[in-house]
Amino acid sequence: MKTILITGGAGFIGSHVVRLFVHQYPDYKIVNLDALTYAGNLENLMDIEDEPNYIFEKGDITNEAFIFDLFEKYDFDGVIHLAAESHVDRSISKPLEFLKTNIFGTVTLLNAAKDKWQDNFEGKRFYHVSTDEVYGSVDDGGFFTEETSYDPQSPYSASKAGSDHFVRAYANTYGLPIVISNCSNNYGPNQFPEKLIPLFINNIRNNKALPVYGKGENIRDWLYVIDHAIAIDMVYHKGKNKETYNIGGFNEWKNLDLIKVMCKVMDEKLGREEGTSEKLITYVKDRAGHDLRYAIDAKKIMNELGWKPSLQFEEGISKTIDWYLENEEWLKNVTSGAYQQYYDEMYKER
């Protein structure tokens, strides 16, 4: 039986990865380590919490003593590292928190893996799940490939770039077996409603203003979160040592066009007259240092590992909107901090 550590498993992408691994690999023990920050929510994993191959550990990746003890306790065969501070706007107001979690936390995990596995790297793997934002902005119509130079523009992307560099440095310096993937924007169920798609679904439903940065001209590539989870499974199992894989949907949208599509679909779903929700669009001051365009070239993972997105965007966005409309309670609880209070109390009692 293999034991895999998945960090950040109570968050948006992590919860889908944990669920996929728990179901797909009954002979693996999956340990989900999460600090349950505002973005982490065990409610996302309620359906699998009693599975025999699933264990949850509450803890902080920046707590060195705790992390070293955890590696002793479980003797992990592999690590899939997703825990991070992930919201660009928060990184602009609190850059040090991003440095601490995303760089110090990652290096703490690398140290624990290196020390524990030191004598035998055979069959071991440290997988860092990263973002396409490390490449900066591609404004000339081109695409980010795995060879594109890093050019991070926000404190968030700088912290992810820094952690990617550390992961590669541990491979080069100590021989740690590693793999990295850099993915475009994800959307789907369980995303904290500070991010564009769930924020706008929530606001449209509640007839609240839709704050669009600048003129809404920034372009992002969008991928359904379960397709990212499937890609992570493939990279973890089939990716080559020390390689990087770009993951994306070949699905670019200008923010304003994306928002208009969401307005249209939601008018239909809510039985509103067409054009009603678009009236909620409000232009606000642009985000500082806002990258204009991210565009991933995902041909390497498609050609080498046989991955491809399974969902067309129209289907994915419709499924996502349905999920948020059907899970009003979840949305209310994450935005009010009710889950956070509940888990704080639950873990205090232990």
> What residues make contact with ligand NAD under the rule CB under 6 A?
7-8, 10-14, 34-37, 39-40, 60-62, 82-86, 101, 105, 129-131, 160, 183, 185-186, 192
Residue 339: active-site member: no
Give the DSSP letter string of 228-294: HHHHHHHHHHHPPTT-EEEE--S-EEEHHHHHHHHHHHHHHHHTPPTTTGGGGEEEEPPPTT--SB-
Residue 132: active-site member: yes
Residue recorded with tokens 């565009």: 295
Least CB distance to ligand NAD at residue 280 (A): 24
Residue 156: active-site member: yes
Cβ-based neighbour number of residue 126 at 10 Å: 26
Nearer Cβ to ligand NAD, position 80 or 321? Answer: 80
Least CB distance to ligand NAD at residue 119 (A): 27
Q: What share of the chain is helix, strand, coil (3-state, %, to 5)?
A: 50, 20, 35
- Residues 53 and 30: beta-carbon distance below 8 Å: yes
The three-state secondary structure class of 350 is coil
Least CB distance to ligand NAD at residue 345 (A): 17
Catalytic choice (34, 133, 252, 291): 133
Catalytic choice (156, 170, 245, 294): 156
Nearer Cβ to ligand NAD, position 29 or 81? Answer: 81
Nearest residue to ligand NAD by CB is 11
Catalytic choice (132, 221, 227, 233): 132
Nearer Cβ to ligand NAD, position 14 or 177? Answer: 14
**Which one, of 263, 244, 254, lies nearest residue 321 by Cα?**
263
Least CB distance to ligand NAD at residue 271 (A): 31
Nearer Cβ to ligand NAD, position 82 or 258? Answer: 82
Nearer Cβ to ligand NAD, position 158 or 277? Answer: 158
Least CB distance to ligand NAD at residue 10 (A): 4
| 169: Cβ contacts below 8 Å, ≥ 6 apart | none
Angle in degrees, 0-180, between the axes of helices 255-270 and 313-326, rounded to the nearest 10:
50
What length is written for the chain?
350
Enter the tokens of residue 244.
């990087």
- Residues 66 and 60: beta-carbon distance below 8 Å: yes
Q: Which residues are catalytic?
A: 132-133, 156
